[in-house]
């Protein structure tokens, strides 16, 4: 899908760099930009196990793949989104990332086909030793770095969440997981059942309905679905009146405010939000459609992420009779489809298991300190970007209630400021240190199944101070961009100086 070459530059094969970035997707490319802009004297490398940039956007190839956030908030702050479609297709996002890499001349810093297996921090040497596997040959090599940044996200690229269904071996058709979509899958004129009710399922159903004989979305319980226009006409109008950067800045601020308003109304007045969403859904669905069974969840809006339906396409294919929704539980797979607990039978030629992601902190990298394994699930998140007790390590995890990249920009910028401060004062280590009395709670205050399944493996957050993980852009803007680097919970150190508190 991406137009970038399949191999990174071989000009530099340095085994030590100042900053090693794991991942060449959205987060890695963003960090690369800020390193070049704010720390031009630093050496850095982006390692990626895949053979192209893009991460998620190169991995997923299922029909209709697109963003579920508007690109004026999902795109980088430093690079305007100038396409007409704000809810953009995967290929458009990849093209945008290609442009970002080219504009910052990042390709010489990227090494593809390099999977990071583990990283050990030496307090004596004051640096990380990182074990890397060359995917093509299996060869293991080592690199060292002063600072390690995980841009690998929080889910496994190698394994999706795929529960076993009784009798699935007897099904004579094809079973497909969206994360591993076969390039040659032909669903024209065939009956398709998509198991799931999240963003992936709601994207797949209208995309496949264009050519399939019929598509059924089978869900155990409903998810909130809200129609959003694919094009942002305010942004289009502003681009005609203003320079691209100015129009982008204005649109971005408007959309951030709109996202925040919707979230706050949902939190403060959930009954009102539920009623509005229900009425919108009802107006877009066929007369007599049972909205309360199929589109009225048992939880409040934003207890889980709302699904954006571009231009209402899911509702459109339901109105046209090309697709339907069944809310029921699976009894078992049969030779020709699925038997439901209600007694109903769904016949299918293809079953798509859009059953979600498998969370995997930091791409599954095994972290250790002086040879002792670090249990990530026992660490505390410092400002949502570092881990307690882990020196010279940072990561990017975005918002659950807004666009991922809004936080990414702030985290990358803040970490670069931190590295600059360390250089200025002669420090070579920085480590968040948590008081044992800090009360712990889950990192992500989110009820989605994929989050709950992995809660024990994720870092925790505290209830106050820098140990909280904020989910509002305004709060992080104050904390990360406008706030100081130094903090009482940070310990800076130098081989030449005693460790100092921030």
Homologous superfamily assigned to 16-158+358-431+470-501 = FAD/NAD(P)-binding domain (3.50.50.60)
In this prediction, residue 496 carries a pLDDT of 67
| pLDDT in 10s for each residue of the chain, 502 residues | 444 544 443 334 669 999 999 999 999 999 999 999 999 999 999 999 999 999 999 999 999 999 989 999 999 999 999 999 999 999 999 999 999 999 999 999 999 999 999 999 999 999 999 999 999 999 999 999 999 999 998 788 888 888 899 999 999 999 999 999 999 999 999 999 999 999 999 999 999 999 999 999 999 999 999 999 999 999 999 999 999 999 999 999 999 999 999 989 999 999 999 999 999 999 999 999 999 999 999 999 988 888 999 999 999 999 999 999 999 999 999 999 999 999 999 999 999 999 988 888 898 999 999 999 999 999 999 999 999 999 999 999 888 888 888 999 999 999 999 999 999 999 999 999 998 889 999 887 766 666 666 667 789 999 999 999 988 899 999 999 999 999 999 999 987 665 555 5
Measured between alpha carbons, how far is 255 from 71 in angstroms, rounded to an integer?
10
Measured between alpha carbons, how far is 395 from 383 in angstroms, rounded to an integer?
11
In this structure, the dihedral spanned by the alpha carbons of residues 248, 253, 256 and 257, taken in order and rounded to 10 degrees, is -150
Mutual orientation of helices 26-38 and 90-103 as an angle, nearest 10°? 20
3-state secondary structure 175-191: EECHHHCCCCCCCCCCE
Q: What is 176-353's CATH number? A: 3.50.50
Mutual orientation of helices 244-268 and 270-284 as an angle, nearest 10°? 110
Domain boundaries defined on the chain: 16-158+358-431+470-501, 176-353
In this prediction, residue 154 carries a pLDDT of 79
In this prediction, residue 70 carries a pLDDT of 94
3-state secondary structure of 142: strand
In this prediction, residue 8 carries a pLDDT of 42
Can 16-158+358-431+470-501 and 176-353 be said to share one CATH topology?
Answer: yes
3-state secondary structure 231-242: ECHHHHHHHHHC
In this prediction, residue 3 carries a pLDDT of 44
Tokens of 69: 């956030």
Name the phi and psi angles at 491, rounded to 5: -115, 115
In this prediction, residue 1 carries a pLDDT of 47
Measured between alpha carbons, how far is 129 from 67 in angstroms, rounded to an integer?
36
Cβ atoms < 10 Å from Cβ of 238: 19
Measured between alpha carbons, how far is 194 from 218 in angstroms, rounded to an integer?
6
Name the phi and psi angles at 145, rounded to 5: -155, 160
Measured between alpha carbons, how far is 329 from 377 in angstroms, rounded to an integer?
33
| Cβ-based neighbours of 19, under 8 Å, separated by 6 or more | 31, 35, 39, 42, 43, 44, 45, 145, 146, 147, 148, 149, 419
In this prediction, residue 13 carries a pLDDT of 62
Beta strand residue intervals within 371-454, DSSP E = 372-373, 381-382, 386-387, 393-395, 429-432, 441-442
In this prediction, residue 7 carries a pLDDT of 42
């Amino acid at each position: 899908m991406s137009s970038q070459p399949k191999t990174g530059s071989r000009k530099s094969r340095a085994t030590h760099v100042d900053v090693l970035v794991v991942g060449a997707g959205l987060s890695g490319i963003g960090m690369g930009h800020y390193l070049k802009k704010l720390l031009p004297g630093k050496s850095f490398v982006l390692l990626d196990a895949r053979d192209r940039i893009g991460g998620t956007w190169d991995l997923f190839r299922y029909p209709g793949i697109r963003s579920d956030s508007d690109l004026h908030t999902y795109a980088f702050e430093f690079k305007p989104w100038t396409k007409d479609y704000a809810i953009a297709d995967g290929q458009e996002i990849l093209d945008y990332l290609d442009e970002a890499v080219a504009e910052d001349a990042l390709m010489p810093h990227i090494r593809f086909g390099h999977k990071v297996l583990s990283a050990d921090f030496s307090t004596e040497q004051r640096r990380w030793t990182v074990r890397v596997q060359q995917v093509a040959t299996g060869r293991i090599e080592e690199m060292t770095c002063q600072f390690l940044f995980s841009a690998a996200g929080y889910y496994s690229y190698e394994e999706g969440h795929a529960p076993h269904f009784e009798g699935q071996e007897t099904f004579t058709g094809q079973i497909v997981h969206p994360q591993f979509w076969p390039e040659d899958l032909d669903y024209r004129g065939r009956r398709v059942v998509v198991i799931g009710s999240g963003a992936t399922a709601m994207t797949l159903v209208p995309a496949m309905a264009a050519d399939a004989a019929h598509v059924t979305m089978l869900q155990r319980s409903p998810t909130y679905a809200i129609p959003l226009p694919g094009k942002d006409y305010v942004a289009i109008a502003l681009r005609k009146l203003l320079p691209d950067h100015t129009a982008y800045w204005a649109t971005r601020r408007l959309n951030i405010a709109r996202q925040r308003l919707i979230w706050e109304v949902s939190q403060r007045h959930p009954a009102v939000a539920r009623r509005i969403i229900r009425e919108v859904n009802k107006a877009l669905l066929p007369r007599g459609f049972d909205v309360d069974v199929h589109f009225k969840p048992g939880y409040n809006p934003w207890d889980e992420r709302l699904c954006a339906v571009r231009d209402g396409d899911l509702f459109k294919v339901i109105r046209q009779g090309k697709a339907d929704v069944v809310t029921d539980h699976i009894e078992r797979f049969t030779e020709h489809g699925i038997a439901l607990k209600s007694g109903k039978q769904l016949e299918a030629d293809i079953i798509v298991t859009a059953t979600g992601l498998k969370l995997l902190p930091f791409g599954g990298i095994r972290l250790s300190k002086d040879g002792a394994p670090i249990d990530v699930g026992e660490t505390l998140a410092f400002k949502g970007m570092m881990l307690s007790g882990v020196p010279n390590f940072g990561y990017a995890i975005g918002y659950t209630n807004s666009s991922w990249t809004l936080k990414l920009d702030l985290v990358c910028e803040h970490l670069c400021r931190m590295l600059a401060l360390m250089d200025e004062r002669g420090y070579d280590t920085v480590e968040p240190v948590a008081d044992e009395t800090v009360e712990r709670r889950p990192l992500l205050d989110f009820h989605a199944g994929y989050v709950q399944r992995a809660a024990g493996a994720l870092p925790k957050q505290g209830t106050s101070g820098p140990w909280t993980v904020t989910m509002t852009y305004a709060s992080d803007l104050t904390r990360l961009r406008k706030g100081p680097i130094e903090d009482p919970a940070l310990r800076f150190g130098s081989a030449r100086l005693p460790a100092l508190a921030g």
